[in-house]
Amino acid sequence: MLELDQLDVNTAFFHDDLDEEIFMSQLMEFKTAEKENIVCKLKKSLYSLKQLSRQWHKHFDSFIRGKRYTRSHYNLCVYYNKLPGGEYVYLLLYVDDMLVAFRSRSVIDKLKKGLSSKFEMKILGKAKKVLDMKIKRD
């Protein structure tokens, strides 16, 4: 039987610099007569950017692969790590939510601690509901 814990990354989309140059019109609140046609070059992500999800996933992917996790060839949001004893730890990422699955609570707690050291996380405990599906344990 696997333990299954759920985590949520706070402000996941604001963890990394942009890979490309993006400019935006100056916000109406900051326009003045002498500064009417100014554009701003973004240094960090803004919530409404189309690139946000991709940028976040690239950032997370780089981090978790650095921790010796492998990304599944079949689903790019599934990561796994084969431990010395031959067992696998699984991490499933969907947008900014994660599920961690393994037999041992101590291994899950160690992974959660590592993730929390890099990202501001909400540790939600045992998974109860995922993608609108209720999880029932028996």
Any idea how long the chain is? 138
pLDDT digits (tens, 9 = 90+) for 40-80: 777 666 655 666 677 777 888 888 998 899 999 999 889 99
pLDDT at residue 133 greater than cutoff 90: no
CA end-to-end span of the chain: 11
pLDDT for the residue 122: 86
Nearest-angstrom CA–CA distance, 109 and 86:
19
Show the beta-strand stretches assigned E in the chain.
Answer: 3-9, 23-25, 39-41, 70-71, 78-82, 88-94, 97-102, 121-126, 129-130, 133-134
Q: Which domains does the chain have, with CATH numbers?
A: 3-20+49-134 (3.30.70)
pLDDT digits (tens, 9 = 90+) for 79-123: 999 999 899 999 998 887 889 999 888 888 888 888 888 888 888
